[in-house]
Each structure stands twice: as C-alpha cells, then as structure tokens.
A and B are shown apart, each in its own frame.
Chain A
C-alpha cells in the first residue's frame, strides 16, 4: 500500500514569529500599566508624557507603550524568525506580564504601589 507523504512534524516547525508577537504584546501591555502608575505618581513624568495637551499624560503613556510594543515585537521577530522557541516558557512569561499590566491599570492597585 502506498504511503502518502506526511507533513513535517509541527513540533519542529519554527514558531519564533508567533512567540515574538505574543511576548511583544504582553510587554507592551505591561509597559502601559507601568507607565500609567508612574505618570500618576510623578507630576514631572506626567508633564513629559503630555504629548497632546488636550488629552494630557494619557497621550504619552499610550504612545510610548505602543512604540515599545512594536519595538519588542520587531526585535523578537528578527531574532527568532527561523527558530523554534520554548513556547510554554514564552507563554507563561507573556501571561504573567499581561496580567501584571492589567493589574497595574486598576487604580486602587496603583495607589497601593504609590503608598496612597
């Protein structure tokens, strides 16, 4: 009986670009949460982040976080383009950063960190 050719094992297929997208996204979200708390705690930083005055520091917080997200994504994608990375570890790290970022956006948690 003729055997049909089997596709290459998916476990061996490069997954670096996918891992880069996931980790980059989580780092961007973490940066957004961290910057939101930092801007809330420092009037000087808040002033620096007011890129568009009518929107205030929110414009800088989000712009910097988005730039950081895209930069992380591009750097990881370039480094891992043809590589197979440990997706389990990357996923765990990415989930941690995402959840921490989410927590940092919650004002009572930010106030706790700022000692208010």
Chain B
C-alpha cells in the first residue's frame, strides 16, 4: 500500500487540517449556542476554562494550517505549468482545463475555493478572540452573541465550500507525484 508524497501532503491539508477544522468550528457553534441559552440553569456545565482555551486555539491553528498548507504547498503543485508534450496527469489544473467538460472544476470550483477558504480562519480568529478575551461582554449582550454566531456560521460555510470543492476537484484531477511512501507491506 503506497502513497506519493504529494498525495500524502494533500491528505494532511484536506483531511487532517481542513476536516478537523470543519468539525472544530461546528463544535464551537454548538458551544456558542449552549452559552447563548437564556436560562443558564438549563445549559450543560461549561467546560473548564483551560480546555475551552485549548479547543479554541487549536481550532484557529487548524484553520490557518489548512489555508497555508493549501496555498503554499498543494496549490503550486496543482497549478504547475506543463511543459510541451508532458503527461497532463501530473498537472491537475492543465488536465482539467484541457477538456470543456472538466474545465468548470477549475474555473468555478478552484477559483471559488482558493479565495473563500481564507474567510474561515480569519473569522474563526475573531470568534476565538471574542470568546476568550471578552466572555463578560458575550454573556451580557444578546446582539453580540447573534452577530458572533452569524460570523461563526459563515466560517463553517466557507470551510465547507472549500472542503467540498477540494474533495471533488481532487477526485477529478488528483494531485500526485514525488517520492513514493510505503504505508503497508502486503504479503506476496
């Protein structure tokens, strides 16, 4: 069972950083909703402050790790220019653009994903900052809770759009190449 270096990095970018960020921001929204309950007695016990801090900092770090690894490691492999006569299988963007039936994966999917993805860590950073540094204001102001929840929902949406397109584009034209890494040695 083998995987190439580029495939492995793409998996780490999308499934580890992106996937876990998506789950974390979803969890943060649930946490925010619980904290927004008008009746604190009805809410489940709040997690310990240290655990809450660790969770939110990890969420923000995952978001930034996803966009930075995507833009500066995986994307250059995706958009590399193919030399004349090269096998386009190693050049995903060129492969997609070479056929009108697949071009939309790049012109709509990747063009949207590469920009909208950045909303997620930016907004998550703001949400984390408000939750960690301004809990008193959060607890006291319903309007603040509403707007921060709305922003967190946009971060979730942005991450979901980016992750969804990323998975589909990588299915249509996978990022492959580099050294081969053996994950599991099968019996002959």
Contacts and interface: CB of A to CB of B under 8 A. Distances in A.
Say which size band chain A's interface belongs to: 35 or more
Interface in B62-84: 67, 71-72, 75-76, 79-80
Given A32-B115, A87-B144, A102-B119, A18 B75 contact: no
Interface string A69-112: 10000000000000000011001001100110110011110000
B185 interface: no
A113 to B, nearest CB: 14
A56 B79 CA distance: 9
B72 A102 contact: no
Contact of A66 (B122, B136, B148, B154): B122
A101 B71 contact: no
A87 B112 contact: no
Contacts of A32: 115, 118-119, 122
Contacts of A56: 79
The prevalent SS among residues of B at the interface is: helix
Given A10-B136, A13-B136, A32-B115, A69 B122 contact: yes
Given A25-B125, A25-B151, A91-B143, 7 more contacts: A13-B137, A18-B130, A32-B118, A52-B72, A61-B115, A91-B144, A102-B158
Interface of A: 10-11, 13, 15, 17-18, 21-22, 24-26, 28-29, 32-33, 36, 40, 52, 54-56, 58-59, 61-62, 65-66, 69, 87-88, 91, 94-95, 98-99, 101-102, 105-108
Interface of B: 67, 71-72, 75-76, 79-80, 107-108, 111-112, 114-116, 118-119, 122-123, 125-126, 129-130, 133-134, 136-137, 139-141, 143-144, 146-148, 150-151, 154, 158
